[in-house]
Amino acid sequence: MKLLIVFMFSSFRRVIIVKLEQTVKQTQKLSPKVLQFVNILQRNAQELEVYLEEKIQENPVLEVNRQDSDDKEIKDISEKLTWLGSEKKYSRNNSDDEDELHDIENYGTNSETDNLYVFLAKQLAAFKLKKELELAAKFLIDCIDNNGYLCAELELLAEQSHYSVDLLEKALYIIQQLDPAGIGALNLSECLCLQLERLGLSNSLPWMLAKYELEDLASGHFSHLSHKYNVDVFTVKEAVKKIKLLDPKPGNKYETYHEPIYVVPDIIIKRNTEHIDVQFNDYHQPNLIINSYYQRLLRQTKDINVKKYLLSKVKEAQWVINSIQQRKTTILDCANCIVKKQELFFLEKSACLKPLTLADIATTLGIHVSTVSRAIGGKYLQCSRGLFPLHYFFTSKLTRSCKEENEQDISSEAVKVLLRNIVITENKSKPLSDQKLCYEIKKHDINISRRTVAKYRESLNIPNASERKK
């Protein structure tokens, strides 16, 4: 119920009318059970293991089924002994072997020079950001490649994480203020513009050329640019000199080493003669049960306070156990759906991915897109072709110009393969510009823009036409 006060004016007097108005507003509030499931679902294997250890410490009713853990350990040791028995034993007296072992022992130790991630993280710490913004910034730093570029659009990164686009934009703005200048850019044009802005040359001729005219600069169309910007050719060449002083790969000057990340696959794919077997890897996940002693005590005690306390703890423990099982079911359902839609990828070594979105999986399983996003976030799949994050199997699609009745859209990954093949087979003395590459791809009935071709070319680390010329 709301109290409305309406002011009415006239030339003679002011009247205040007071009204009571009743409105109904519906809001959705998640229950503690749902919140706990969401919290458990979005964690990867390592995070879940730490989380469950904390829960076991907090709740005396919750415990690990030791018999089940021992059986897993015995099975693992047996498999290792079998493997060791089948391997030949080699002597390690050779000095080369000792050097190799020494290198392995030192793998993961810090070098004298900071790698790019450490260098950026140290600068970020000086900002003293709020926790959520700091975590989002660290997430983006981890998405920066060795050249200093952000590996994907913010919308895609937001979709693959639990951070909003708005929060990631704020975090990216902070990262782009860090050294080296140009860090965190999505493409070469933005990288150069960021460096020029740091030099106080925003909206200058070099900045305009870097932002809008890189292809013409690469082609040497200085006369055309001089007419377009109403300056002489000498001025354009002077602007180009300033651009050439910039660093197109600001991350390259730092160590490319990253601290080793140990990944536990959540899904293991095994190919049988007849079908693909999708297995959930729960080896590192403790099998939780409710302590039998406290169950008996709950049934036998007559103390109301003790009974009330134990009942609440048993309910909490059951919620955790149920949430873990539900997490397993949801991730396995998503993995089965991915494998079914990307079946060729697992059957043929050279097969490309098909177009697939989170919405496709959500529609198939009848769940919300956010649930799919949480289920695949930070989870990994191991198959004969290697170890892949689950979000790797989601690719955007490009439509075909003249689509046949049974012909499907093509994935961005397949277009990148086609682009790479076109560049490999081109005339090295007359390499194709992005526009001509666009025409070549369109010959395969694929709708694509020059800008998208340039974006895909850069993601494949293929130089532009002038740099490819021999």
Q: Using CA atoms, how far apart are residues 344 and 348, in angstroms rounded to an integer?
A: 6
- Asked whether residue 36 is assigned to any structural domain, the reply reads no
Q: Using CA atoms, how far apart are residues 188 and 463, in angstroms rounded to an integer?
A: 11
Write out the H or E segment, with its range, that includes residue 385. none
356 and 420 housed in the same domain = no
Residues of the chain predicted below pLDDT 50: 10-12, 83, 86-112, 403, 405-406
Q: Which residues contact 123 (CB under 8 A, 6 or more apart)?
A: 178, 179
Task: Provide DSSP, 39-65.
Answer: HHHT--HHHHHHHHHHHHHH-TTEEE-
C-alpha distances (whole Å) from 276 to each of 55, 158, 226 are 36, 31, 61
Helices 434-442 and 450-459: crossing angle, nearest 10°? 100
- Asked whether residue 289 is assigned to any structural domain, the reply reads yes
216 and 322 housed in the same domain = no
216 and 279 housed in the same domain = no
- Asked whether residue 405 is assigned to any structural domain, the reply reads yes
192 and 288 housed in the same domain = no
| Contact status, residue 136 vs residue 150, Cβ threshold 8 Å | no
Task: Spell out where 246-373 has E strands.
Answer: 267-271, 276-280, 288-290
- Asked whether residue 447 is assigned to any structural domain, the reply reads yes
168 and 199 housed in the same domain = no
146 and 220 housed in the same domain = no
Q: Indicate whether this model's pTM tops 0.85.
A: no
pLDDT given for residue 466 in this prediction: 83
406 and 458 housed in the same domain = yes
375 and 402 housed in the same domain = no
Q: Which residues contact 242 (CB under 8 A, 6 or more apart)?
A: 196, 201, 206
Write out the H or E segment, with its range, that includes residue 4. strand 2-9
Task: Single out the residue in 393, 413, 429 at which a domain terminates.
Answer: 393
Tokens of 438: 């666009």
End-to-end CA, the chain: 77
- Asked whether residue 461 is assigned to any structural domain, the reply reads yes
370 and 412 housed in the same domain = no
198 and 141 housed in the same domain = no
How many domains does the structure of the chain reveal? 4
Angle at 142 between CA 136 and CA 147, to 5 degrees: 130
| Contacts of the segment 424-429: beta carbons below 8 A, 24+ positions apart | 426/468, 428/468, 428/469, 428/470, 429/469, 429/470
pLDDT given for residue 207 in this prediction: 93
320 and 386 housed in the same domain = yes
CA 93: distance to chain centroid? 45
C-alpha distances (whole Å) from 215 to each of 177, 205, 244, 455, 463 are 27, 15, 14, 13, 12
Task: Single out the residue in 366, 393, 420 at which a domain terminates.
Answer: 393
Q: Using CA atoms, how far apart are residues 94 and 101, in angstroms rounded to an integer?
A: 11
Q: For residue 415, what are the domain limits?
A: 397-468
Q: Which residues contact 133 (CB under 8 A, 6 or more apart)?
A: 167, 170, 171, 174
Task: Single out the residue in 175, 202, 234 at which a domain terminates.
Answer: 175
- Asked whether residue 15 is assigned to any structural domain, the reply reads no
